[in-house]
Copies of this chain bind each other. A is one copy, B any other.
Amino acid sequence: MTEYARRPAELATFEEFHNLPIERKINYWTRDGRPFHVVNSRQFTRGILEDLIDLTNKIRRIAKAKTGVEFLHSLLPHKRAMLFFKQPSTRTFLSFVSACDFLGISWAEVRDSGVSSEAKGETEDDSVRVFSSFFDVMIMRHPDSSSAERVAYIFDRIGRPIPVINGGAGPDEHPTQALLDVYTLDRSFERQGGIEGKKICFVGDCKRGRTVRSLARLLALYEGVELFFCAPKSLQVLPDVTDYLHTKNVKFTLLSELEPHLGEMDAFYMTRIQDEWDAKDRGNVNTPVDIGPYIFRERFLPMIKFGAIIMHPLPKRNEIEPAVDNDRRAMYWRQVRNGMWARSALLAYIFQRDDEIKRYFNKNT
């Protein structure tokens, strides 16, 4: 394989680029040592995660005061974001919208490139190129796994230097969800020595939940973390994840029952059975599966550690009993707000406003 220059697209077709090893692609998505295009959760190294966690904490605390919010608004009023959501997602949409608002970024939404009747016959590549003309960053959600990668490739090829942020692409990648999950764990364990050495148990659909795949990889960056995957056989985690964990020497265990292990865990990461991928999916799972053993029940609350937390990427259905919602260890509502702060931090980081935020924080808090 030949060497690729800064703009790989001048040297390769998208298919060639797409087939490069992930490390090589990450290299192209990086500028000045930080993510420019945010396509894949593997772009978050331990150092970048720590930068982002620190920045998220600072933004969150600055925003508590009106003057702080006004400072944040003054950071990026000259930037405009396009939210290109081909797949509906109210909560991810609102989270990014909130992040933009906090930084003074103005935004507009395009729900569908086929919105315009005039556009019949235009290629999606052309549509995206036109839309990008009006904006300084594109945040996209799309049913196709490689969509964000493709748009990043197009922008690089045409020399339009605006970042792309993957807000969820197909069944595979949702890097900002992984980021907010790590942030939630870090914040929750702030007074318990951080994420290092914690026992984290994924419960439910470990096979298809994209958050499970991404988060498991990121947790491999933290020393001594021990992972558990508690799922029915047909929804147990796939070899790509376990192989990766083996390579990284991360201790992990597959479980088929939750209840006997409640007292061991520091965090429960509950997931939903993702029936919506069933039709088109790699695994031919014949749901219904009996998810009874993978429901977090009210009666479990006294059985888990005092400092343990219960997470869920939401929306949830019946995999957590409603009475659990108001326990102080139920972190899923807080995850939602954390997502807003983490996405604010990511945008500020991409646009290199972190130093300014740190200076303000040191002076004003």
Contacts and interface: CB of A to CB of B under 8 A. Distances in A.
Contacts of A115: 88, 90
Interface string A314-332: 1111100000011000000
B110 A315 contact: no
B87 A117 contact: yes
A66 B80 CA distance: 12
Given A127-B315, A130-B315, A317-B122, A94 B117 contact: no
A88 B91 CA distance: 20
Chain multiplicity (copies):
3
A347 to B, nearest CB: 15
A98 B134 contact: yes
Interface stretch (A45-53, A69-77, A195-203): A69-77
A121 interface: yes
Interface in A308-365: 314-318, 325-326, 333, 336-337, 340
Given A94-B131, A333-B130, A336-B133, A276 B316 contact: no
Given A133-B333, A336-B133, A126 B315 contact: yes
Contact of A94 (B89, B119, B134, B336): B134
A110 B134 contact: no
Contacts of A101: 80, 106
Contacts of A110: 90, 94
A356 B151 CA distance: 39
A280 interface: no
Contacts of A73: 77
A77 to B, nearest CB: 6
Interface of A: 63, 66, 69-70, 73, 77-78, 80, 82, 87-91, 94-95, 97-98, 101, 106, 108, 110, 113, 115-122, 126-127, 129-131, 133-135, 158, 276, 314-318, 325-326, 333, 336-337, 340
8 contacts: A70-B77, A73-B77, A117-B276, A120-B276, A121-B317, A122-B314, A130-B333, A133-B340
Nearest to A99: B134
Contacts of A127: 90, 315
A29 B214 CA distance: 43
A135 B91 CA distance: 12
A296 B135 CA distance: 29
Contacts of A97: 108, 134
A91 B337 contact: no
A326 B158 contact: yes
Nearest to A122: B315
A115 B141 CA distance: 14
Contacts of A87: 117
Given A129-B333, A133-B333, A90 B70 contact: no
7 shortest interchain CB distances as A-B pairs: A69-B78, A122-B315, A121-B317, A133-B336, A98-B134, A66-B78, A90-B116
User: Which of A117, A118, A340 gathers the greatest number of chain B CB atoms within 10 Å?
Assistant: A118
